[in-house]
Structure 1
Amino acid sequence: MKNILLTIEFDGRNFFGWQEQKEKRTVSGEIKKVLKAIFQKEVKLIGMGRTDRGVSALKYFCNFKIAAEKVDWENLKKRMNYLLPAEIYVKAVKEVPSNFNSRYAVKSKTYCYLVFEGISPVRRDFFWEIPKKIDIQKMEEAKKIFLGEKDFSKFCYYSGKGICRIEKIEIIKKNGEIIFKITGNRFLYKMVRRIVGALIDVGLGKRELKDIENAFLGKAHLPLTTAPAKGLILYDCEIDLLKNC
């Protein structure tokens, strides 16, 4: 039995997220169809986590097991890319330890969120267009509130354990483009988009720093802006190949 790790990139705009859903086009669903065509059997595909509808990824890990004595890795990669839709590309294929599980091996993830301060038809498919002046300095101050290990349940759609650790937030502005890079150990449903929405609200003068602080303290219900999915990209991730899953 071989445990095979795929590193993939996908344009998620025309998918209902990663997770397979009945009668809906998903990233995992398309990959499973191709694997079934190649191996002539159903394959259980394990992803490193769900992505929201419309969200893309530059680096995403998933793995599956197949009964085979030998696998031609380069040929498998070529066959998959030939059969997969253009929005999905297999970047690498390798064998990993039998107990490896993509879902539990993730050490950290980095998301990028793309904003354009203005209107740009060329950028529109991947950027959130905001035709107003955004105060970067105010957002730099506000981002500090999100750093560290905290309960992010007020910044997501989630009813379970909301404790996450945000290690780093970068805000880069150049030629009207504002790029948010957020690194953490785990992210909850719509959490990144709500963090970005809160920072943008501060940058536009719609919210004060104390509003975000009070939300973490549970002192106030904060109606949140959820940034559009199209601007969110899973940029990078670290996994532990030797983790006993």
Structure 2
Amino acid sequence: MARSDWRRPASHPYEEGCVRRVRMTVAYDGTGYSGWQHQRNAPSVQAEIEDALYRLTGHSVTVVGSGRTDSGVHALGQVCHFDLPDERFPAVVFKRALNAFLPPAIRIMDSEETNDSFHARFSAMAREYRYLIKREADMTPFDSGRVWVVKELPSLELLKAHAAEIAGTHDFTTFTAAGDMCERRHRDIYVSDFSVEKDIHGAEVLVYTICGNAFLYKMVRSIVGTLFFLVLGGVPATETARRLAARDRSQAGRTASAHGLYLSRISFDEKEYEWFEHLHPSMEMPSEDREREDSDDEA
């Protein structure tokens, strides 16, 4: 969908009774949490931060995140905002003060003053995820719950060829898990690529990087699992293209573990991916579908 069709208001009003907005970047180990968003009878990252804010300020506030990561999924660059009814605390104080209340698995990386022109979810232009995979033989005690563990790593060249089929504007119904509530399944994928990196111990880590305007329910993990096992079997990249075009959930393979997935970065730069529309002309959408879907839920 062309960015001109993203119906974004110029401002996002403060919560009733509030006079200011604070923006924060958050990192967290999602192993012990049900995800970012509030869940009944289960711990969430959002609830932990809201509780810490209440203990610090005495106000019950709603923390709005850029992406609602699923249970067990991690983040290095989650962005959120909250509104406050007073100006007692300078924005820069929240990083240090909230970290004193939060568990070690959740860290505020920065905090700054913003205004009603910014909204953590609706101002986001792109969301980037990284998925980490390691060989079982290379695992250390510090990798548990933080990577997807496999017996062997398949061909990097073939992985990159399969990943290239994901880039562009597509209907991602094939890679959407049951339970997704979005009516429109088209998404713009700016980056889809595999690389091999070294961890701090010198072991190889297979990294899948994907960046797009938004994501569907468990979409990234479904893509990773499907591509990985297709490549492990030596299947050519045309098979990924065929399965994607089929728009059929039964064509997807195994969904990869939540442990390897990280929300790595949120981009608010309107110019960063402007080139995309020139390389991938937008698909024509029915007028009733042109309201942008910001559902990057539990990717």
With normalisation by structure 1, the TM-score equals 0.91
CA distance in 2, matches of 1:206, 1:19: 39
Aligned partner of 1:176 in structure 2 is 204
* Root-mean-square deviation over aligned CA pairs: 1.9
Shift of 1:41: 2.3
Shift of 1:133: 4.6
Show structure 1 runs of 5+ residues with no match: none
Aligned partner of 2:266 in structure 1 is 237
State which drifts further: 155-164 or 70-79.
70-79
Per-residue CA deviation, residues 126-181 of structure 1 (Å, 9 max, x unaligned), is 12111135122211111121010111121022242111111112311244321111
Show structure 2 runs of 5+ residues with no match: 1-18, 198-202, 271-299
Question: Counterparts of 1:81-120 in structure 2 under 5 Å?
Answer: 81-119=99-137, 120=139
**Aligned CA distance change for structure 1 residues 167 and 219 (closer, same or farther; 3 Å):** closer
Contact 1:105-1:240 at 8 Å conserved across structures: no
Aligned partner of 1:203 in structure 2 is 231
With normalisation by structure 2, the TM-score equals 0.75
Shift of 1:207: 4.7
Q: Alignment partner of 1:65: what SS?
A: strand
Contact 1:117-1:134 at 8 Å conserved across structures: no
Aligned residues: 241
**Aligned CA distance change for structure 1 residues 206 and 194 (closer, same or farther; 3 Å):** farther
Q: Alignment partner of 1:106: what SS?
A: coil
Q: Alignment partner of 2:165: what SS?
A: helix
CA distance in 2, matches of 1:16, 1:5: 23
State which drifts further: 8-17 or 157-166.
157-166
Shift of 1:102: 0.9
- The one-letter amino acid of 1:216's match is L
Correspondence for 2:185 among 153, 158, 162: 162
CA distance in 2, matches of 1:168, 1:183: 5
Contact 2:22-2:91 at 8 Å conserved across structures: no
CA distance in 2, matches of 1:49, 1:89: 16
CA distance in 2, matches of 1:116, 1:170: 17
Select the structure that is richer in strand.
1
- The one-letter amino acid of 2:152's match is K
**Aligned CA distance change for structure 1 residues 211 and 26 (closer, same or farther; 3 Å):** same
Q: Alignment partner of 2:98: what SS?
A: helix
CA distance in 2, matches of 1:74, 1:21: 29
**Sequence identity (%):** 27
CA distance in 1, matches of 2:109, 2:161: 38
